[in-house]
Structure 1
C-alpha cells in the first residue's frame, strides 16, 4: 500500500477508529500541533484514569503532565517527523486525586499527509510499571547484598564447571590479586595459587563437584597475586549445584582473606612453645586462686611430676608459709584493683619444702569483649642462679647505682641494659622500667647522625670516646647537656668487645650558674647604672670587681682606680682603716657587712655614708663574694647627732630643761599616762602660733586630715601597750603650710610603771621632698628605660624571625633567650614604675565584678607553661564574685606563684587555694621550698627587702614584688601575710573584703 492509500485509509474514520478501539494496546491519536485528542481507546483512558476527554488538548486533559518531558517530545515529533520510542519511561498521572508514578514503553509516530507534513501523532503505550518496580527491587537487593559482602570483607565467585569460566566480584579479584575487569578461567586461578596448596585445593574442588559429597566446599590456601605478587591466605566456602543428570552446572561461594588469622595462629603456636619451654615459671589461675596451668619449668621447680595431676591446687599452697599473707593481703587485692603486681616472693618445693626465691610479675586477664576480670597469671623468675652467680656484680652495681653521675651499660648494637638511679632520675626513666631501648633514644634527635658518624665510629676504632652531647629527657623531651665518656667493655677470656659502658656528668646546673652570673652582671650593669645609691660587687677575696656610675660620680675616680682596694682612697683618713678592718673581719666570717664612714667627694665636700654588703654563694655552696650598696646618709646622720647631743644635754642638765628646750630645733612635748598633752617647748609654740595651754586641747586641729586616723590609732596603741610611739605626719604651721614631721615618744617609767611620755616632733619635710625627688627620678629613669628596652625586644624578635627563616636555629635560639632576658628586664622596670606610682599615690585601680576563682585558674594555666618541675595544684572552694581591679589582683597572684616556683627549686608541687571566710575572700599560695626565718617574716613586704643568708644568691631580684603586691592589697582594703617554717616552705596569703553585688 503506498502513502496515498495509507492516508486515505487513515481518513476512513470508521475503519481507523475500529482498529484503535479494538487494539489491546493503549492507543491515542492527537491532531495538530496543539495535540488535540482525536481518538483514545479504553486501554489509554484507563491509563490516564480519565472519562471522555475526546476533543480536548493533552494539556487540558492531562494538566499533571506539565513539567514532564512529554509535551516537548510530542512537539519534536510533530515538527521533525522523526518517531520517538522509549522503554520504561517514568510518568506521573493524577489518579483519584493523587499523583502516582507509573512506567511505560512509549511510541510517538507522526502521520503525514500527501505533502509529507505531519498532521497527527499516533501514540501507543505499554504499562511496564510492575516489571520496572520488580527490576528496581532486585537491583536494591543486589546492592544490599554487595554492601553486606563488602562489610564482611567477603568476595564472591561463581564457577561454570561445564565451560570452565569463573565469574568474580571486584573484592574477590582483589583478594586473589587479579586486575579489575579480567575474565579468568579456573586454570588461571590455579596458575596463581601457591604450588604447595594446588593439590589440596584440586582435591577439595573435585570432592565438592562429586554429587555424593553433597556439594559442600571449604578449603584454606595461599595465592600469589597476579598483579602485586603478594601472598595471601584465603578461606573459600561454597556449594556445587547439580542438574537431574548429577552433573554440576554451577559452583559458587565466597572468599575471605584470613592472612591475619593464620599469622595469629602461627604466633599463638610459637608463644605456646615459648611458654612451655622457657626457663621462667609461668602459671595461670582462676579468680579464686585455683591454679589451672603450670609450664614445665614451674612443675620442675615445685617438685611436681610432669604426668601428675596437680589440679586442684590453690596458689597459697605453692608459696612459702610466711609469704602467704602477702599473697592474700597485697598481691590479690592489687591484681583485682590495679591489674598488676610485681615483686620478690618465695615459692615452696612441694616435695622438699625448700624456700625458693622468685621474682614475680603478676597480672590480671580481662575478657576481650566484656572487659571484666576472667583469670590471673604470673611470669616468675627463679632467682637462685642469679643470686649465686651475680653476687659480686650486684655489689658493683650497688656502688654504681649510688654514684652521683650517670652510668649506663649497653650491648654492642646499642641496646641499653642498665642505667643507674642517678641516670634514671636525670632522664625521667621510671625505676621499674626494664626495657630501656636503644642508646639512640637517650639523645636528642639532632644528635643521632653524630652518634652514627662520629661517636660510634671513634668508639669502635679507638675503644673510647669523650665529649659533649645532648641527652633527652624521656618524659618532657628536654635537652640535657652532658660531658660524657663511652668505652668498650672486653671479654676477659676472648679479649673481644662484648658491650659498652657510658658515664656522663649533667652540665645543666653548671651552664645555668654561668648564665645566671652573666645575666646577673648584665642586669646589674643596666639597672643599677641609674641608681642614686652606689652599688658594688667583690670577689671571694674581697677585691672590688664592679661599681656603678654613682660611686664614680661621687668620688671622681675612674673604674680602674676603684677596683681591688682602690675604693678606700676617697675615705677620710681616720675612717679608712676602720672601714677596711670591718670589711676584712666580716669577709673572713662570711657575714653581713655594714659600716659608716665619711667620704670626700670630688668637689671636696665631706659626706656621711653607710656601706652594706651581703655574702653571695655559688650553687655548690662555695663562697662567691659580696654584693652591696653605699648610701649617702649625711642628712640623717646630722639629725641623729643633733638629737643625741640634745638628749645628752637633757639628761645632764635636767635643771636647765626649760631653757635648753626652747633653743632645740625640734618640738618637745610631754604627755600624761592617759595621752593628754601637758607641755610643749617654745619651738612648738612658735611653729603653731598658739600658747601652751591652747595646744594641749587643740593639737589635733593642726594634723593633716589624711594623717589623723593613722596618727591617732598609733598614739592610742602606744598608750595602751606602753610601746614606743613613732609616726610620720603633716602638721600645719602658723603660716598655714603643712610640713612633714617625725613624731617620736618614749614612756618614762618609775618602779615599772609609766608616769610620763616624752616626745619630739622633728621637721623632716626636706628629707620627704628629697625622697619624693628620688621616687620621681626612679620613675623617670624606669620610664626612660622602657623605650630602649622595647626597641631591643622588637629588634630581637625581628632578628629571631630572620634567623629562623634562614635556618639558623641555634642562633635563633640564642636570640630567643636574649628576648626572654629582655622580658625579665621589662618586668623589673615595670616593678620600679609601680613602686614610684605607689609612693606618689598615682597607682590607679579599675574595679569590675569578676569570679576570682576563674582569674586564679587562668593565671595558673599560663604559669604552668613556665615550669616543668612543679605541678600547680588547685584547692578551690566556691568564693563568688568580687568587685576590685581584676588585672592588679592577677598581678598579685602571678607574683606569689612565680615566687613559689623560684624559692622551691627542689619541690615538685605548689598548692593554690581559695576560700571565703565571712565577708572576706582568702587566696593562699603554698610552696615547699627554703622557707623564711621567723625574725625576717615581717620584713618581706618592705620595699627593696630581700632575705639575706647563705642561699640568697640562688634567687636574684630587686625585692619589689611582695612590696608592690602588699600595697595593691592594702589599697583594695585587704591584707597580706605569710606563714613559714625555715627549710620546709612558706604560705603567702591575702584577703579582700566582699562587696555585696546589687
Structure 2
C-alpha cells in the first residue's frame, strides 16, 4: 500500500502544520472521499484560508464548495462541547452537520456566494446539539467570502464566538432596568465588539472597507495600508481615491457615489497604486448595509487584487485580435494560392479539412486522415512515410505525392505542415496546407523532355565537331601551321565545355524523372580525392590544389557519381576564386559517415545565397554574367548526395571564401578490412 505523504512530518505542507487537535484530524482525514479531494490538490485560496484558520486563536471555520464542506479549528471546537458534533461534522456538508440551523443560515450563505454582502451578526440565538442535548446558544459571528484563483467565490470564512453568558446577562440587566449598569455594559460591548471586529477583519486575506450613509470611509482594514502605503489619515473620507490611477480616479469615484446614492451594490475595476509606486488592477465590490430597523447605514465592501488575471485577459484579447487579423490575411492568401487547409488530431487520427482540401481530393469528405492517405499513389507511400517520420523529429512536414482520384485522374499535390507537441514531446496536432501542383508538374515534365531530347540531339554533332577539330589540329601541326593548330585546340576546349553542359542537362532530366542510376562498389575514398585533385591540377595551373586525405578507409558508394560531385565542387572553387592561388580538399571520418570538404578563398557565398545555392539553375553572380555555367552543377551534386543518404551544405570561410562539405554513409561494417583487401 502506498504511504500517505501527510503521515511523514517532513512532507506536511506548510498550511497544514500545527493547529493542535484539529490540525492532526485534518491531516489524517480521508479527504479523497469528499468533494474537496486530497489536500495537495486543494486550490491555493483554500490552502491559505485553512492555514489562517488553524493558526488563529479565534473560533474559525470554513464552508467550502457548493455543498459547504465544513472545516474548523481548535478554538471553535471548544464551543462544540462534549458528546455533540465534534469530530463528526469535520468534512461533512453543512446541511448534514448543522441540520438544526440549516434553514436559518442557508439564505445567508447562498446570498454571499451569489455576490451579496458579508455579514456580522451579534448575539443571535442558534440552538445546537452539544453535551448530549440541544442547547440554546447565542452566537456573535461573521461570514465573509473566500475568492478563488479565478476571482469567483469558492467558499465562506466564518469567525464565531459563544456569547451566551453575555447575552443572558444583558437580558437580565434589561429586565432589571438597571440603566446605569446597562449603559456601561453597552459601552463595554461596543468597545469590545469594535476591537473584536478589527481583529477579525485584519486576519481576512483581503481588503475590507466600511463607509457611513454619506459615503465617508470610516474604516479600512490593515491590508489596505500594507498594500498602498497610505496612512489612516490619508485614506479616511474620500482620501482613498488618491491612491487610484489618475486615469481611473473619476470613474472609480463615480461608481461608488452612484451606488451609495441609490443604495445598491456595485463592482468597479481600477488600478491602485502600491507602495513601490507601481499600479495593480483591483476589483472593488460593495453592498449596502442596514440597521436592524431597516435604516440605511452606508456601504461595506472588499478590494481584491486581480492584476495577473486582468493582464492575462488583456493579453488574451490582444492575441485573439491578432489571430483574427492573421486568419483574415491567411484566408486571402489561401484563396489567392488555391491552398487547402487541414488539421489532424494525432491522438485520434481525425482530420478537419477545408473546402479547398476536399476539392483537391476529388470532393471526398472524410473524418479519418487514413481515408485521404489511402488515395496516395502506391509508389509515393514510402516518401510520405519518410516525411511524416522526419516531422516527428523536426516538427516540419514537407513532401510531394500523387493522389489517385476515383474518376481515374492523377493529381500532383504538395503537402506542408507544422506538428505541435506536448511537454512529453508527444505529437498533438498537425496543421498544414495542400497545394495542387499538377499543372506545374506537367510543365516540368515537358521541360525535362525537351531538355533531354535537345541534349541527345546535340551529342552527335558535338562529338563530330570534336573529332574533326582534333583531325584538323593534327594536320595543321604536320604542315607546320601552328597558329591554326592552336585555334583547333581552343575549339576543342570549347567543345569540351559544351559537352560538360550537355552532360549536366542530361543529368538534370534523369534527376527530375527519377532515373538517375547508381552503381555501388567498394573503393578507396582518399585515392579518389587524389585522382580528382591531380586531374584538375593539370588544367588549372594558376591554382595549387592542396589535398589532405584523412579518411584512410574504404567506402561503399557510386565512385563515378562521387567523382562527379568532388570535381564539381573543386571546379567551382577554382572558378569563383580567380585572384587566389589555393584550393583545399579534405576527407575525414565522422561516426559512420565519410566527410569531404572543399575550401576556397574567393568571393564567398552570402547568407541569403546559402539558402538557395543548391537550387536548380541558381547561379552566384549570375546578374554580372561573370562566371560561366548553367547553375546545374550544385543542384545535381545535391541530388546525388541526398539520394546516396548523405547531406551537403556550404559554410563561410574563416576570413573569406567558402567551404562546401558533404557527408555520405560509409556503407560497410569494416571499412578498414575492405580497404586492406582492395589494396
**TM-score band, normalised by the shorter chain?**
0.3 to 0.5
Higher relative contact order (CA 8 A, sep 6+): 2
Structure in which a larger fraction of residues adopt helix? 2
Structure in which a larger fraction of residues adopt strand? 1
**Based on CA coordinates, which of the two structures has the bigger radius of gyration?**
1
